[in-house]
Structure 1
């Protein structure tokens, strides 16, 4: 059995198209989406349509929460707060009430088992949509923040837009990277698969090429309120 995990699409439908095509080619059996679907991209509506058309299990990210209720002071740097709420308001204007309710009602974590392998998946940490756990965090800190809330064999999350795989005390920890806004300097859409075979686990990070200039052109076409910054992020794959 092959499971696919993706997150942090951020309204980049061109990148999502490429990832879904790659997932089909990889003959994936089940798809899981770990949040941050629409906000900060030029095509929030099309991304939500694509995700809702999938036979996928979806959870909420911090950016989905922002779409629902706005960005609060203290959640981003003070100098970015006004602009990020302008971006949020623009995103909401592209959606309908059913979309907002869909995002509002998403669960915040997944706990499931396949072929005797236990999985725990969440957006940032099991207890927060906002906390940051970076790739080179010490093992003890990863255990404390990601692995103590629920016993599992595989832990998966998004949020930091930097894909990695770690093995700690016989457990597998994966960050999926980002479909739409990678921050690792690689201008490719990122997602992960986990192959299961008789209890064995094979985790893989996939980097999928797509025409990111189409995404940049779309930001300009729709008059996105923070186009210059987003163009730089997409073109350089970094903040």
Structure 2
């Protein structure tokens, strides 16, 4: 079984197009999506429709929750909250009531069988929170306590931090997918992860996909996105 895991698309449908094309070329058996589909990008509707067209497991991210119910005080820095609320409303205005209901009803996690001997626990940020940030530099005991609570799993995969990595702790594997639409590691290539297994054997790898970032910036400008400088800064434009 070969499964591709993607997350943190953030309305960057151009990047998602490139990732899905790359996944198709790698002949995977399944695609799983770990949240943050629409908010903070120029094409929230198209990004959502691309995800829905996969007809696959999708779990909820914090940005999906924000689209549904708004951003509460204390969830982002005070200096950013006004602009982020403006971006949230802009995103909501691009979506239908059915789209909002879809996001609202997404599950917050799932356990998937890679093989009959290997289970993967997936979630957006942690198994109990859509918002908590567990960074690649955390101590092993912090990672274990916050990400590895599902004892039956062998692999633990998440998104949220936009920083791809793979770690091995006490015989188990923890990995972050990075971000399709807004990578925070200084490389503006879309990031996703493939897990492949047979029996008790498996591989986990981060994949980076180069695409035309200038198309995204053009769409940001054409759409009148309310915070274009944020996207341009993250994508190095």
TM range (shorter): over 0.9
The equivalent residue for 2:227 is 226
Q: From the superposition, tell whether residues 85 and 150 of structure 1 become closer, same or farther in structure 2 (CA, over 3 Å).
A: farther
Cα distance in structure 1, aligned partners of 2:126 and 2:3:
20
TM-score of the pair, normalised by structure 2: 0.98
The equivalent residue for 2:200 is 199
Kindly indicate whether residue 44 of structure 2 is the aligned counterpart of residue 62 of structure 1: no
Which stretch of the first structure deviates more once superposed, 147-156 or 120-129? 147-156
Give, in angstroms, the shift of residue 151 of structure 1.
Answer: 3.0
The equivalent residue for 1:214 is 215
Cα distance in structure 1, aligned partners of 2:203 and 2:49:
31
Cα deviation, 1:135-157, whole Å, max 9, x if unaligned, reads: 11111110011012443100000
Give, in angstroms, the shift of residue 55 of structure 1.
Answer: 2.9
The equivalent residue for 1:26 is 26
CA contact (8 A) 1:36 1:61 kept: yes
Task: Give the match's secondary structure for 1:106.
Answer: coil
User: Which runs of 4 or more aligned residues in structure 1 lie more than 4 Å from their structure 2 counterparts after TM superposition?
Assistant: none
Cα distance in structure 1, aligned partners of 2:186 and 2:155:
26
Task: Give the match's secondary structure for 2:179.
Answer: coil
Give, in angstroms, the shift of residue 197 of structure 1.
Answer: 1.6
Cα deviation, 1:7-26, whole Å, max 9, x if unaligned, reads: 00000000000000000000
The equivalent residue for 1:144 is 145
The equivalent residue for 1:46 is 46
Cα distance in structure 2, aligned partners of 1:216 and 1:199:
44
CA contact (8 A) 1:192 1:205 kept: yes
Cα distance in structure 2, aligned partners of 1:164 and 1:194:
13
Cα distance in structure 2, aligned partners of 1:55 and 1:63:
20
Equivalences for residues 1-239 of structure 1 within 5 A = 1-115=1-115, 116-235=117-236
Cα distance in structure 1, aligned partners of 2:219 and 2:136:
31
Gapped runs of 5+ residues in structure 2? none
Task: Give the match's secondary structure for 1:180.
Answer: coil
Number of aligned residues = 236
Give, in angstroms, the shift of residue 173 of structure 1.
Answer: 0.6
Cα deviation, 1:139-187, whole Å, max 9, x if unaligned, reads: 1110011012443100000000000000001101110000000000011
Cα distance in structure 1, aligned partners of 2:196 and 2:214:
32
Which stretch of the first structure deviates more once superposed, 218-227 or 108-117? 108-117
Task: Give the match's secondary structure for 1:20.
Answer: helix
RMSD: 0.9
Cα distance in structure 2, aligned partners of 1:197 and 1:18:
28
Cα distance in structure 2, aligned partners of 1:28 and 1:127:
29
Cα distance in structure 1, aligned partners of 2:218 and 2:114:
41
Task: Give the match's secondary structure for 2:235.
Answer: helix
